[in-house]
Amino acid sequence: MISLPAWMTDRSLSADLETLLAPEQDGSLERFAAEAQAITLRRFGRIISLYAPLYLSNFCSSGCVYCGFASDRKAPRRKLDYDEMEKELTAMKALGISDALLLTGERTSAAGFDYLRRAVGIAAKIMPRVAVEAFPMTVAEYRALADSGCTGITIYQESYNPEDYRKLHLWGPKQDFLERLETPERALQGGIRSVGVGALLGLSEPVGEALVLARHVRHLCRTYWKAGISVSFPRIRPQEGGYMPAYPVDDRFLARMIFAFRIAMPDVDLVLSTRESPGFRDGMAGLGITRMSIASRTTVGGYLDTETPGASQFEVSDDRSAEAFCNALRAKELEPVFKNWDPAYNGPLINEETICR
C-alpha cells in the first residue's frame, strides 16, 4: 500500500463535479453546453490558443501496456539530432506554429535530461513558447529547463487509481505512482510557469478519474496560485500493441466532462488534442475548450518527412492542416491564436499575433 496525499480523497474539492457528472444529469447536456459556452466567452473571449507537438525521440525505458513507445515494441527507434531538431522546428514555424510542445519517452541513456535541456535551448531560439511532455524530473532539473527557456510542462497521471496504475505499468521508472503524481509540484517549485495535467480516459472508471483529476487541479491552484494550470482530456487511441480501453468513453460523456470542468473551474485552460475527430473538436471549440493542438505529427521527424512511416505513439484522428483547422474555427467566429505573449515578459499575456491571415 502507498500513502496517498490528503487532497486525493478530499471530496470537498470535487463536490460540484460529482453533482454535474451524476448519471441523472445526463439529460442536461444541452443546458450544460450553453452554460459552459457563456462562461468561456465571458472569461476567454473568442480566442482558441493553438500549439503543436514535436516528438524528439521514441526511445523509452518503461512498459506501459497502452503506449506505442513502450520498450518492448518492435518498431524502429530513433531520435532527432540537434541539427534535425532545428530543421523540424523551422518547418513548424513555416506552418505558422509559434508554440511547441517537445515530447520524449521515459528517461533513457539515449534521450535523457541533458538531451532534453539542449533541445529546449534550441527550440527557445526559434519558438516564442516552448513546453515539454517528458519524464518526471527533479526540482533542480526543472529549474535548469526553465533557465534554458522552458515555460511549461504537460504530464498526465494516466490513471489516478493506484491499483489500475500498477497493472498498466509493468516495468520501468513509470511504475512509481507517487513519483509521477508529485511531478507537477516539483516543476512549479523549479520555476516552470505552467503545468498541464490529465488522465488518459479509458484506463480507469471515468467518473472516478474525473473527480480525482478535479481534486488535483484544485490542490495545485490553491498551493501554487501564481501558476497557470491546464487540464487535458485525452482518450486512448489505436497504437502499436493494440491495447483496448477497459472503460471506453463515448463522445457524450467526454462532452459532459468538459462542460462540467468549465462550469466548476471557470478560469482554467481546457485542452483538446488531435486524438479527437475533426467533428468533435469543431463542436467543442468555444464550448469550454480554450486550447487545442494542430497539424500534429506523432512520429519522430514528422514535419519534414511526411511520407516515410515511422513508429507513432498513437494514431492522430484530426489530421487537418493548420490552415484548414484555422478556417474551421473562423467559420464558428472563433479566432485561432498561436502567440499572444512576449517571451521576455512574465506578466499578463500581450502582443496578440494570429495565424492564417
Asked if the model's pLDDT at residue 70 lies above 60, the reply is yes
pLDDT in tens, 217-231: 999 999 999 999 999
Arithmetic mean of pLDDT over the chain = 90
Domain containing 324 equals 14-19+26-354
What is the mean pLDDT of the segment spanning 227-237?
A: 94
Count the Cβ atoms, other than its own, within 10 Å of residue 167. Answer: 12
Contact predicate 199/159, CB 8 Å: yes
Asked if the model's pLDDT at residue 352 lies above 70, the reply is no
- Note whether residue 347 is domain-resident: yes
Going by C-alpha positions, the residue among 249, 166, 238, 236 that lies closest to residue 205 is 249
pLDDT confidence of residue 270: 98
- Note whether residue 1 is domain-resident: no
Of the two residues 355 and 290, the one the predictor is more confident about is 290
Runs of H (alpha helix) within 182-321: 183-189, 206-223, 251-264, 278-284
Asked if the model's pLDDT at residue 354 lies above 70, the reply is no
pLDDT confidence of residue 340: 56
- Note whether residue 5 is domain-resident: no
What is the mean pLDDT of the segment spanning 224-249?
A: 88
- Note whether residue 8 is domain-resident: no
Q: At how many degrees (to 10) do helices 113-124 and 139-148 cross?
A: 30
- Note whether residue 184 is domain-resident: yes
Domains in the chain: how many in total? 1
Q: 351: pLDDT confidence band, cut at 50, 70 and 90? A: very low
* CATH number assigned to the domain comprising residue 230: 3.20.20.70
Count the Cβ atoms, other than its own, within 10 Å of residue 357. Answer: 6
pLDDT in tens, 279-298: 999 999 999 999 999 988 87
pTM: 0.92
pLDDT in tens, 111-169: 999 999 999 999 999 999 999 999 999 999 999 999 999 999 999 999 999 999 999 99
Strand partners, 98: none
pLDDT confidence of residue 76: 86
pLDDT confidence of residue 182: 98
| CA–CA dist 176, 40 (Å, integer) | 36
What is the mean pLDDT of the segment spanning 43-64?
A: 94
pLDDT confidence of residue 20: 96
What is the mean pLDDT of the segment spanning 248-271?
A: 97
- Note whether residue 218 is domain-resident: yes
pLDDT confidence of residue 306: 61
- Note whether residue 300 is domain-resident: yes
- Note whether residue 286 is domain-resident: yes
pLDDT in tens, 293-318: 998 887 898 888 765 555 555 578 89
What is the mean pLDDT of the segment spanning 18-38?
A: 95
| CA–CA dist 188, 165 (Å, integer) | 24
What is the mean pLDDT of the segment spanning 185-195?
A: 97
pLDDT confidence of residue 350: 32
Which residue is it, cell 483547422? Answer: 325
